[in-house]
Chains A and B, each alone.
Chain A
Amino acid sequence: MNKSTNTKLDSDRGSFASIFKSQIFFLIGIMIIIGVIVSIINPRFLSVRNLFNIVLGVSTTGIVCVGMGTVLITGNFDLTLGPLISILGIVMALMITRYNVILTLITVIALGVAIGAFNGVVATRVRAHSFIVTLALSVVYEGIALLLAGGTYISLGGRFRVFADRLWGVIPTPALVLLAAIIGAFIVYRFTKFGRMFFAVGGNEKAAYLGGVKVRLYKILAFSLAGGMYAIGAIVLISQLGVVYPSTGFGYTLPALAAIAVGGVALYGGKGSALGIFLGALLFGLISNALVLTGVDPFWRDVAAGLLILLAVGISGIVQD
């Protein structure tokens, strides 16, 4: 049905109803509900320290989600996230004990961007869905991570503990990096030409191509950006841990994908927001924190977390319909 012909006024404001239907509103709502329930059971939930702990817990996930989310917005998947965190973390650990910290960080980020660009080139050249292409690449990278580390862990030797600290003893430093990443993504998505092009490519690749958009270029750019974000995520994570195992990053891929999807980024591309990605990641942290504070048996936590996520996705599907 065509609603447009019935109204002639150019109201040009997002309708009030659409706010209630948005993913953002829904995510905030569900977090408040969980928050209220948990704080009744365990008042410690609302302490400043705990709230910051939640943000700390999702810092790495949130940072890498911005990268993977950008690729998703162009209508592609990037499943190399986890193994790349490991590789970049290992390179960082290997370098930091020998070289200057700044040089190390710059190298790690540049390497992340370069590997991302390589992923983008392969994903746009191979005539298969990027899901499969990056899945294959991720297996390769897992192997490389194991080779690089020689199958064992590598310690930072106590150096570079910046991201294990708290600013003024309160605010965890990784949270600041997360904040910067989200604000950066917000600016790119909303206010830059190349950000808009990511959405155009994901919104309708063929229409974008016929509209003169250099589709391949922007896809490669999105993959490169993602690689850079994985590097920053790896730096934050490994600095916190002080040690890196070849498998340290492996478990990050699917939770990140789930958080992005919960955050309202369309898996078919063209839709998503920085705030949504942040809230999606935050919801994951909130749920696991809530399960700890309410004293759920550790063995049941994953089951409960999975079910809660499924519930969140299910309800959001109904809300959006």
Chain B
Amino acid sequence: MEQLGKKKILSMTGISKAYPGVVALDSVDFDLYEGEVHSLVGKNGAGKSTLIEILAGSVRANRGKMEIFGKKFDYLTPAESLNLGIGTIHQVDQLIEGMTVAENVFIDNLKTNRAGFYSLKQCIESTKKILDFLDVSINPRRMVATLSPVERKILCIARAFSQEVKILIFDEPTASLDRKVEDKLFNIMKTIKQKGVGIIYISHNLDEIFKLKDRVTILRDGKKISTQNVEEIDEESLIAGMIGTKAKGYEKKSKSFAKGMKLEVKRYSFDDVVRDVSFNLREGEVFGLAGLIGSGRTELLQMMFGACRKKTGQLIYEGKDITPKTPVDAIKNGIGLLTEDKKTDGLMMNMPVYKNISLVDLVKSRDFFLRLNKERNEARQMKENLNIAVPSVRQIVKYLSGGNQQKVVLAKWLLAESKILLLDEPTVGIDVGAKEEIYNLINDLSRAGKIFIIVSSDNQELMAISDRVGIMHRGNMVKILEGEDINEENILKYSL
């Protein structure tokens, strides 16, 4: 795979890294040419993060050699890595909200005037230059708190360019972004690429790999499976490489609905956020909620759960008013909420799996004493049923992969016998294999009569799992798609 006329700027050979009990990387080779995008794909735990951490100098490899711009290294320190011109755009940005764009760009290298004092003016001048270089326009005087998600990402890139950058690593930059604005980011990447910077790109979203082109390396269980030109590979073989077997693919099983509506969602509204939203659901129905970020979908779920203020709105289940005022009410009435960010509001990360699974069930019980054996057995049963890959239910949750964590949250609500499940972005940051498992679970559970309302920004996902898809736009439910009408064009048409 010669890149004609281009210089190889990085080559890593035989990189191995073991942690107690796990081999994170097993003799992996990786290289990068100037001005190319080299994507890195693999399931959670395949070793992608470890590889880039070694490049960034935050982790040392046990074995292997690196050659960067012709210089040989056994390992790098973070400072060496930066000095070589290696920058990283982290998945979660580390911006300081109360400062301006310019100050954030030069936070570790504040510009001074001739007298040696810090000068905002100098910072702004220099920031303008960087933003021009990236071919974007953001006012350097704006406060970070006022930026949109994509502008924040761009700011992170600009910050990387406050020093000379020759290799830029992107770690799932689009995970928190709307599909619509992704192109903005990709355009910047093209600009950077043309200036000769080598880009290492990590993402779970395979569409992006095909958009960004050049080369892709597949990692699985710490081993390199292949490096190929993107043009010579298709999505199916990419997935097959990642999960090891040929992708089974998710297939929705057919179901028949009993006549009549089971759950009425009536006239939910709060100011401009959600405006008079009503829809009805049948028993066992999976109702997708599409729309842009900020269209009121998350807020609607939170209101239905009683976790967020509302002006009006009622939930009628089997003719009975069950409108929850608080989460406590919601739980009493068999409603469960799986939030988007498991770390901040879904799981007690430092506690064992079984204590997380039993929480809601325990809250509902009137026992004074815990029944520890019953608790653990039920958790084990859930682990079996949902196929949670963990050696013991005593394992601390933070050590689980994203997909398994999501299953733990789901198990929590299932154990509490929730009938109505509200899911907010259930598969964000989860690898392909685990995604399919979650889809199958949703499918099976809905066939058993559970009602799902699922917010997702992944239209493919909505198309795959929903019986109907409601589309929200600026707080309004603008359209409910059914059957054949559920397709990408329609979803996009009504979302925008």
Which A positions have Cβ atoms within 8 angstroms of B? 1-14, 190-197, 199-200, 203-204, 206-214, 266, 270-271
Q: Answer whether A9 and B401 are a contact pair too, CB < 8 Å, given A191-B370, A213-B359.
A: no
Closest chain B CB from A16 CB (angstroms): 13
Partner of B392, one of A5, A12, A192, A270: A12
Q: Answer whether A211 and B327 are a contact pair too, CB < 8 Å, given A4-B391, A196-B355.
A: yes
Q: How far is the CA of A210 from the CA of B399 in the complex (A)?
A: 22
Partner of B364, one of A11, A13, A14, A212: A212
Partner of A212, one of B331, B344, B380: B331
| Interfacial residues of chain B within 305-354, with CB under 8 A of chain A in the complex | 305, 307, 327-328, 330-332, 337, 339, 344-351
Closest chain A CB from B142 CB (angstroms): 28
Closest chain B CB from A62 CB (angstroms): 25
Interface flag for B145 (CB, 8 Å): no
Q: How far is the CA of A224 from the CA of B4 in the complex (A)?
A: 74
| Contacting residues, chain A, for B337 (C-beta < 8 A) | 210
Residue of B nearest to A213 (CB): B363
A206 touches B370 (CB 8 A): no
Partner of A1, one of B24, B328, B346, B389: B24
Q: How far is the CA of A14 from the CA of B393 in the complex (A)?
A: 10
| Contacting residues, chain B, for A212 (C-beta < 8 A) | 327-328, 330-332, 360, 363-364
Interface flag for B117 (CB, 8 Å): no
A-B contact pairs, 30 of them (CB 8 A): A2-B45, A2-B400, A3-B21, A4-B400, A5-B389, A5-B401, A10-B383, A10-B393, A11-B391, A12-B376, A12-B380, A193-B368, A193-B370, A195-B370, A196-B362, A197-B362, A200-B355, A203-B349, A204-B344, A204-B348, A207-B359, A208-B359, A210-B307, A210-B339, A210-B345, A211-B360, A212-B360, A214-B328, A270-B351, A271-B350
Closest chain B CB from A283 CB (angstroms): 23
Interface flag for B203 (CB, 8 Å): no
Q: CB-defined interface of B377-418 with A at 8 Å, one 1/0 digit per residue?
A: 000100100000111111100011100100000001000000
Q: Answer whether A196 and B345 are a contact pair too, CB < 8 Å, given A5-B389, A210-B327.
A: no
| Contacting residues, chain A, for B344 (C-beta < 8 A) | 204, 206
| Contacting residues, chain A, for B44 (C-beta < 8 A) | 2
Q: Answer whether A4 and B348 are a contact pair too, CB < 8 Å, given A192-B369, A213-B359.
A: no
B383 touches A204 (CB 8 A): no
| Interfacial residues of chain B within 36-57, with CB under 8 A of chain A in the complex | 44-45, 50
Given A1-B22, A4-B395, A271-B350, 13 extra CB contacts under 8 A: A4-B389, A4-B400, A4-B401, A10-B391, A11-B392, A191-B372, A192-B368, A203-B349, A204-B345, A209-B307, A211-B327, A213-B359, A270-B348
Closest chain B CB from A121 CB (angstroms): 19
Residue of A nearest to B331 (CB): A212
A4 touches B399 (CB 8 A): yes
Interface flag for B365 (CB, 8 Å): yes
Closest chain A CB from B244 CB (angstroms): 12
Q: How far is the CA of A191 from the CA of B367 in the complex (A)?
A: 11
Number of B residues contacting the other chain (C-beta, 8 Å)?
51
Q: How far is the CA of A6 from the CA of B362 in the complex (A)?
A: 31
| Contacting residues, chain B, for A271 (C-beta < 8 A) | 350
A211 touches B359 (CB 8 A): yes
A208 touches B348 (CB 8 A): yes
Q: Answer whether A209 and B348 are a contact pair too, CB < 8 Å, given A2-B45, A10-B391, A12-B394.
A: no
Q: How far is the CA of A13 from the CA of B367 in the complex (A)?
A: 26
Closest chain A CB from B15 CB (angstroms): 15
B350 touches A4 (CB 8 A): no
Which B positions have Cβ atoms within 8 angstroms of A? 19, 21-22, 24, 44-45, 50, 305, 307, 327-328, 330-332, 337, 339, 344-351, 355, 359-360, 362-365, 367-370, 372, 376, 380, 383, 389-395, 399-401, 404, 412
Q: How far is the CA of A200 from the CA of B400 in the complex (A)?
A: 19
Q: How far is the CA of A14 from the CA of B376 in the complex (A)?
A: 14
| Contacting residues, chain A, for B393 (C-beta < 8 A) | 10, 12
| Contacting residues, chain A, for B412 (C-beta < 8 A) | 211
| Contacting residues, chain A, for B365 (C-beta < 8 A) | 193
Q: How far is the CA of A214 from the CA of B412 in the complex (A)?
A: 17
B399 touches A2 (CB 8 A): yes
| Contacting residues, chain A, for B22 (C-beta < 8 A) | 1-3, 6
Q: How far is the CA of A171 from the CA of B292 in the complex (A)?
A: 70
A10 touches B392 (CB 8 A): yes
| Contacting residues, chain B, for A7 (C-beta < 8 A) | 391
Most A-side CB within 10 Å, residue of B24, B305, B362, B399? B362
Q: How far is the CA of A5 from the CA of B305 in the complex (A)?
A: 33
Q: How far is the CA of A1 from the CA of B346 in the complex (A)?
A: 20
Closest chain A CB from B300 CB (angstroms): 16
Q: How far is the CA of A6 from the CA of B346 in the complex (A)?
A: 25
Most A-side CB within 10 Å, residue of B19, B50, B347, B363? B363
B367 touches A193 (CB 8 A): yes
Closest chain B CB from A32 CB (angstroms): 26
| Contacting residues, chain B, for A6 (C-beta < 8 A) | 21-22
B362 touches A193 (CB 8 A): yes
Most A-side CB within 10 Å, residue of B19, B350, B365? B350
| Contacting residues, chain B, for A14 (C-beta < 8 A) | 394
Q: How far is the CA of A208 from the CA of B328 in the complex (A)?
A: 11
Closest chain B CB from A45 CB (angstroms): 38
B348 touches A203 (CB 8 A): yes
A9 touches B391 (CB 8 A): yes
Residue of A nearest to B222 (CB): A1
| Contacting residues, chain B, for A209 (C-beta < 8 A) | 307, 327
Partner of A207, one of B50, B305, B345, B401: B345
A206 touches B362 (CB 8 A): no
Q: How far is the CA of A211 from the CA of B22 in the complex (A)?
A: 33
| Contacting residues, chain B, for A214 (C-beta < 8 A) | 328
A1 touches B19 (CB 8 A): yes
B391 touches A211 (CB 8 A): no
| Contacting residues, chain A, for B360 (C-beta < 8 A) | 211-212
Q: How far is the CA of A81 from the CA of B344 in the complex (A)?
A: 31
| Contacting residues, chain B, for A190 (C-beta < 8 A) | 370
Q: Answer whether A1 and B45 are a contact pair too, CB < 8 Å, given A204-B349, A211-B363, A212-B327.
A: yes
A13 touches B350 (CB 8 A): no
Q: How far is the CA of A271 from the CA of B350 in the complex (A)?
A: 8
| Contacting residues, chain A, for B346 (C-beta < 8 A) | 207, 210
A192 touches B370 (CB 8 A): yes
A200 touches B348 (CB 8 A): yes
Q: How far is the CA of A55 from the CA of B353 in the complex (A)?
A: 37
